[in-house]
Amino acid sequence: MAKLVVHNEKIDNKSEAIKLCPFGAMDIVNDNIEINASCKMCRLCVRKGPEGAFEYVEGEKKPSVDKSLWKGVGVYVDHVEGDIHPVTFELIGKARELAAKVNQEVYCVFVGHDIEDKAEELLHYGVDKVYVYDSEKLKEFRIEPYTAAFEDFINKVKPTAILVGATTVGRSLAPRIAARFRTGLTADCTVLDIKENTDLVQIRPAFGGNIMAQIITPNSRPQLATVRYKVMLAPERSEDVNGQIIRCTIEDERLASNIDVLEVFKKEAETGISDAEVLVVAGRGVKTEKDLAMVEELAKLLGGEVAVTRPLIESGWADAKRQVGLSGRTVRPKLIITLGVSGAVQFTAGMNKSDVIFSINKDEKAPIFQVAHYGIVGDMYEIIPQLIENIKLSKEA
C-alpha cells in the first residue's frame, strides 16, 4: 500500500508546513509532523513542501494472477428443496452471453439433497456442465457446508467469473466465497460485460445512485458478482440437451456445521410486485395518503398491482415490499405506469427493463422521460381521473 514518509529534519517551520495540506491530514506530535487518516494521497505536500521533506512511497504491487488457468463462467443455482429460483435462469442467460465473447463454457454449481433429477432442467437452457453436490448433509441451507461445497467447485473447475443471485442465500454465500479466495465481489450489478482478457466489467449505481460505477478485479480470480431477480433476461427453454451433469463428492468432515436445523416453517406464498405483469407506481407527486385510493383504482382496472417509490415508504404510506428501486424490488412487468415519479437513478435501475413504460409528470425535464416509452407532461390529478373514466367506458363498450 502506498504511503507518505515525512523527513522532519528537512523542515524548518513545521507550523507553516502543515498548512500545505487542504485536508488537514498533518499533525505535529512531539515536534514532528505525522500524517493522519485524512490523507487523500494528493501529493500536494510533495510538490509544494520543502525539498525532500515529503516522500511518496509506492506500495508493493500485488502479484498478477495467471488468467489462463481460470476459464468459463459459473452460475450458482439458487433453489429451495430443489425448486430452482428463476433468477438462476436469468443468470444463465447472461453467463452464456459473457462466455460466448471469450469462447468459453458455462457452468452451474448445484448444491443440495435429492437434486440430481432437477439438475437436468438446467441443461435445457444451454449450460455446458452442471456440477452437482448431492448429500444428506446439504439438505437444508447451512452456511458452512454450502460454502465448503462451493469452494470445492471453484478449486476443481476454476471459473474465471461466477454469477450469484442476490437472494437471501446468495447474499450469504457470495461474501464468504470472496473472502476465502481473497477476491473482489460486486453486489447488485445492473450491467455485466467481459473483456477479451476475461476481466469482468461490473456496473452498478454508486454514491447513492448519482453515478454508475464500473468495477473490475484484474488481479484476482474468480470474479464474483451478485445480480437481483428481474435484472437480466432469461433465455428461452430448448428441448435440445447438449450439456452434461457431473456428480461431485466432498468429504463429510468438510460438511460439518455448528448449526442444527430443528424445523423448517414454510412461508405463505404471497403475490408481490416482482411478479406482476402490470404495475402502477405512485411517486413523490402524490400529495396525501388518501390520494393512493385513486392509484389503487387505476391499478385494479388494469388488473395490476400498486407500487411506490422510497419517499412514500419513508412517509409510512405503504409497505416496504411495494417499493421499486435498488433499495426495494427490481421489477420487469409488461406495463408500468409511473405517476409523479421523477426518475432518480436508484428507481430507474429497478424498472428500466420493463416492456412498456408510461409516465405522467408535471416536469417536462424529469429524468423519468429519458427511459419512458410514452409520457404525458401534466398534472396527474387531472390526467388519472380521465384515464380511469376512459378505461371504464372501454370496458363497458
Same domain, residue pair 318 and 203 = no
> Is 266 domain-assigned?
no
pTM higher than the cut 0.85: no
> Is 121 domain-assigned?
yes
Same domain, residue pair 221 and 249 = yes
Residue 12: half-sphere exposure toward Cβ, Cα within 13 Å = 2
Please report the pLDDT score of residue 387 as a whole number: 93
Task: Please enumerate in sequence order all residues whose Cβ is within 8 A of that of 266, keeping only pairs 6 or more positions apart, or say none.
Answer: none
Same domain, residue pair 49 and 78 = no
Same domain, residue pair 312 and 195 = no
Please report the pLDDT score of residue 1 as a whole number: 67
Determine contact, residues 137/103, Cβ cutoff 8 Å: no
Determine contact, residues 147/109, Cβ cutoff 8 Å: no
Residue 362: CATH number of its domain: 3.40.50.1220
Residue 18: CATH number of its domain: 3.30.70
Q: What is residue 147's DSSP assignment?
A: H
- Cis before 222? omega within 30: yes
Please report the pLDDT score of residue 216 as a whole number: 94
Binding residues for FAD, by number, are 284, 309-310, 323-327, 361
User: At residue 228, what are phi and psi to the nearest 5 degrees?
Assistant: -75, 155
Binding residues, by number, are 284, 309-310, 323-327, 361
Please report the pLDDT score of residue 2 as a whole number: 78
Please report the pLDDT score of residue 62 as a whole number: 64
Around Cβ 22, how many Cβ atoms within 10 Å? 9
Which helix or strand (DSSP H or E) is residue 297 part of? helix 292-301
> Is 380 domain-assigned?
yes
Same domain, residue pair 81 and 170 = yes
Q: How high is the mean pLDDT in each 10-residue block of the chain (397 residues)?
A: 88 92 92 91 91 86 84 97 94 97 97 93 96 94 95 97 96 96 94 96 80 89 95 91 93 90 80 87 94 94 94 93 88 94 88 93 94 94 94 86
Please report the pLDDT score of residue 173 as a whole number: 97
Q: Which of 354, 360, 323, 330 is nearest to 342 (CA)?
A: 360
**What sign results for the dihedral spanned by CA atoms 193, 93, 227, 102?**
negative
- Rounded Cα distance between 182 and 220, Å, is 8
Same domain, residue pair 138 and 197 = yes
- Rounded Cα distance between 106 and 18, Å, is 56
> Is 43 domain-assigned?
yes
Q: Which of 128, 172, 122 is nearest to 150 (CA)?
A: 172
Same domain, residue pair 114 and 20 = no
- Rounded Cα distance between 322 and 381, Å, is 22
Q: Crossing angle of helices 168-180/143-157, nearest 10°? A: 60
Same domain, residue pair 208 and 289 = no
Please report the pLDDT score of residue 367 as a whole number: 93
Same domain, residue pair 363 and 337 = yes
Please report the pLDDT score of residue 326 as a whole number: 81
Which helix or strand (DSSP H or E) is residue 121 part of? helix 116-122
> What are 281's strand-pairing partners?
307, 338
Same domain, residue pair 44 and 77 = no
Same domain, residue pair 196 and 324 = no
Please report the pLDDT score of residue 346 as a whole number: 82
Same domain, residue pair 85 and 184 = yes
Q: What is residue 343's DSSP assignment?
A: -
Domain with 43, as residue range(s), is 3-57
